[in-house]
Chains A and B, each alone.
Chain A
Amino acid sequence: MVAVMENIVKRYKAHTALDHMNLTIQPGETLGLLGPNGAGKTTAIRVLTGLTGADAGNTRLFGAEMRGAALAVKRRIGVVPQDLALYEALSARDNLNYFGRLYGIRGAELKKRVDEVLEVLGLSDVAGKAPKKFSGGMKRRLNIGCAIIHKPELLILDEPTVGIDPQSRNHILDFVEGMTKQGTTVLYTSHYMEEVERVCSRVLIMDAGHVIADGTVEDLTKAAIFEESVTLEVRENAPGLCESVKKVQGVQRCEADGRSLSVTSAAGSQNLARILECAAPYIILSVAAKRPTLEDAFLALTGKKLRDTGGEGQ
């Protein structure tokens, strides 16, 4: 096991940020950590990396107790904070050199690693320039570069793509997928469901300081979604069609709006063929079956939309 958090409690005065939180990270997996604003994601990462001590519970990384002074363990992790954590007036190379030296790399090895990271992140051409002159995407890439300079076994990325253009986001996601393929274990938090669906092999959903769901994207959507919907459009008005459809097994609701029908069934009913049989007498112009997404699962589990929540500030 790469990381284990057991019954972690963290309080800030009267506010309980983590309420008996449990988490495990398996070697080689990319674990997505989702949660609305204030769910405790960033606090969990701070406890995991030793930046903040927990009031109760145990945290172990690579089998060792994680405390502020667990230097040997810290050597094996890399952290990409939510906000840019760079010396923006210094060059990209200076930043990588600094964080590399903090991890004990020096001399020719350091120079080689810095060149490699600049190359991988597409920053070789601007190595001597200060990040304050970079675009948002370039800054984000350098922010990641400083966390991987020492080839960590566990890479923790806290909202690594906030506020950047689609091209840079794609670059970062490709990079994360590449790290996973190389065997790096990744903990990834994001407000973007499609990112989590793309890169994560397992997802934890947090709310109110503890984990409320844990599984693959497919598992979570199956477990959390209780309804499926199909929308039919026919060429002419079909006044009796809704009544016929309602008799199909699993259908819970059918609403007609002119030539359009919205049919809601219980999850897993697998009744699309029978609904289409009912509509066979009419000329069907289109059929749209909405597949439940992680966003739907998140909404069902937390009652909140993730994209609306903004950054977490604790």
Chain B
Amino acid sequence: MNAFFATFKVGFKFLWKSPVSVAILIAFPIMLIFILGSALSGYISADIELDPVPVAVAAEEGGAFRSFLQNPDIAPFFDLTYTSRAEAAALSEKGDVVCAVVEREDGSLEVLSPPGSGFSARIALSVFDSYQRVGAAFAIRGPEGGDIPGFSVEDMPLGKRVPNATDYYAVTMLVMILLYTGTNGTELFHKGMLSDTGSRAQTAPVTKPVLIGGLLAASTVTSFLQGMVTFVFTGVVYGVYWGERIPLVLLTLFAVVLFSQAFCIFLLLLFRSPGAVNGTVQAIFWVMTFVSGGYTKVSFGAADAVFQYVPNAMAHTVIFGSIYGGNEAKMGLYLAILFGLGLVFYIASFLLGRRRLA
């Protein structure tokens, strides 16, 4: 264990003194200041990013739900028609609006949408999904089904916090940042195993798994801590709401770190050049962030069914779900896939490393 902790310590120090690592630590929060700051000041505002969604509303005038819809964070998302319950259902059935929202006497909501529209299913999946498709205001959760034949009905308690643009970008950008910290693993693994320094360490009476384990632990802990700096930063500076299930959010972020480390080390063993790996992941992670809606609302039609399994998209879904409520089974599945992807790339790296490090 002496050698493991020695390797961990030297790797940890190496990364915190590495220009690349420090750049990640400083550059990404600065980037977030720009992005989130822009989001807050309206340069990346909801009404630019999202088309207002036509929705019929049957709610008591001056009541809680109408007040809720007048919230400036919410109003730009929707083109609202206030009407009666029957008229709202009719508008929805005719397709003049994407759905009708009816306020019940007990203050809960019914969302009515025609079957086969695909809308109710989309909105019910997660807040993240609803944000992309119809705006963030309806943080609707729970299984599909309804008490009115032919319509989907979901319940949402009033007063539930809904994500604004800043909350949205804080999640998507943090996931992206954690992916890029995989380059920590690239840099450290190259130094500690593949360079002359690594060769010298391998002439010591230490097994390769101990050396590799120490290096991986150092890069994983460093990357996670760097992510936490940004995590805290978004909460303190921009008041981003991370929900009440912080351990689940952190576990998801940890899964992203593990995946990115494994993926980058796999690429390093493949290319043998940290520069080539960094160039490759710059492109790959940018595309992954884009197709998963990290930068802006985007739809690829049928391809969306595939893109929901992009690591970013899965992480977004789990985190948004943990904050605002989402399909627990799906969140569990995505989290398992994220950890599984990390494991797959670690195994692939191990198999490749047996040849490369021989």
Contact = CB atoms under 8 A, between A and B. Distances in A.
Interface of A: 49-53, 68-69, 71-72, 74-75, 77, 79, 81-87, 89-90, 94, 97-99, 101-104, 106, 130, 146-147
Given A84-B196, A90-B10, A90-B14, A79 B205 contact: no
Interface string B10-35: 10011001100000000000000000
A101 B4 CA distance: 9
Contacts of B207: 69, 71
Contacts of B203: 49-51, 74, 77, 79
Nearest to B196: A85
B356 interface: no
A59 to B, nearest CB: 14
A240 B323 CA distance: 108
B23 to A, nearest CB: 14
Contacts of B202: 51
Contacts of A94: 10, 13
Nearest to B207: A69
Those 4 A-B pairs whose CB atoms lie nearest each other, nearest first: A101-B6, A102-B204, A71-B205, A85-B200
Given A90-B10, A102-B6, A85 B195 contact: yes
B205 A83 contact: no
Interface string B184-221: 00000001000111011111111110000000000000
A90 B12 CA distance: 11
Contacts of A68: 208, 358
Nearest to A97: B6
A72 B10 contact: no
B3 A101 contact: yes
Given A103-B204, A130-B17, 6 more contacts: A68-B208, A99-B200, A99-B201, A102-B7, A102-B201, A104-B205
Nearest to A105: B2
Contacts of B18: 89
Contacts, number: 75
Interface in B273-314: none
Contacts of A75: 205
Nearest to A146: B200
Contact of A87 (B5, B14, B199): B14
A101 B13 contact: no
Nearest to B192: A87
Interface residues of B, number: 26
Nearest to A46: B199
A87 B197 CA distance: 7
Interface of B: 2-3, 5-7, 9-10, 13-14, 17-18, 191, 195-197, 199-208, 358
Contact of A103 (B7, B13, B195, B205): B205
A155 to B, nearest CB: 12
Given A87-B14, A94-B10, A101 B2 contact: yes
- Counting chain B CB atoms within 10 Å of each CB, the highest count among A69, A85, A98, A146 belongs to A98
14 contacts: A51-B199, A51-B203, A82-B196, A83-B196, A85-B199, A87-B14, A87-B191, A89-B17, A90-B10, A98-B10, A102-B7, A102-B204, A106-B2, A146-B200
Contacts of B191: 87
Contact of A98 (B6, B17, B199): B6
A85 B3 CA distance: 18
A242 B5 CA distance: 76
B196 A90 contact: no
Contact of B204 (A52, A72, A74, A86): A74
- Counting chain A CB atoms within 10 Å of each CB, the highest count among B6, B18, B207 belongs to B6
B6 to A, nearest CB: 4
Contacts of B6: 97-98, 101-102
Nearest to A100: B6
B358 A53 contact: yes
A307 B288 CA distance: 53
Contacts of B7: 98, 102
A81 B199 contact: yes
B13 to A, nearest CB: 6
A104 B197 contact: no
A89 B14 CA distance: 7
Contacts of A77: 203
Nearest to B198: A85
A50 B205 CA distance: 11
B199 A71 contact: no
B287 to A, nearest CB: 32
A102 B214 CA distance: 12
